[in-house]
């Protein structure tokens, strides 16, 4: 019995691959960054739970 790889080994990334990624990159949407969003959600839950303490 011989074992064979299921998938071919990955190839090196070429400059053409990088150029394709640059052309197809989705721009970021304007708005709060992830840290600001998490802080706002955390502050909202703190305000909601404040009367319980």
Reported pTM: 0.41
Distance of CA 9 to the CA centre of its chain: 25
Please tell me the predicted confidence (pLDDT) of residue 14.
Answer: 96
Query: Two tokens at 19?
Result: 């150029």
pLDDT, averaged in runs of 10, over the chain (53 residues): 84 96 88 85 70 55
Q: What share of the chain is helix, strand, coil (3-state, %, to 5)?
A: 55, 0, 45
What is the structure's pLDDT at 17? 96
pLDDT at 15: 97
Q: How far apart are CA 10 and CA 27, in angstroms?
A: 28
Kindly state the tokens that stand for 37.
Answer: 């969003």
32 touches 40 (CB < 8 A): yes
Alpha-carbon Rg for the chain, nearest whole angstrom, is: 24
pLDDT score of 44: 72
């Amino acid at each position: 019995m011989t074992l064979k790889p299921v998938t071919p080994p990955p190839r090196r990334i070429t400059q053409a691959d990088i150029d394709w990624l640059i052309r197809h990159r989705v721009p970021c949407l304007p708005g709060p960054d992830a840290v600001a969003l998490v802080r706002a959600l955390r502050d909202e839950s703190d305000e909601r739970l404040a009367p319980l303490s």
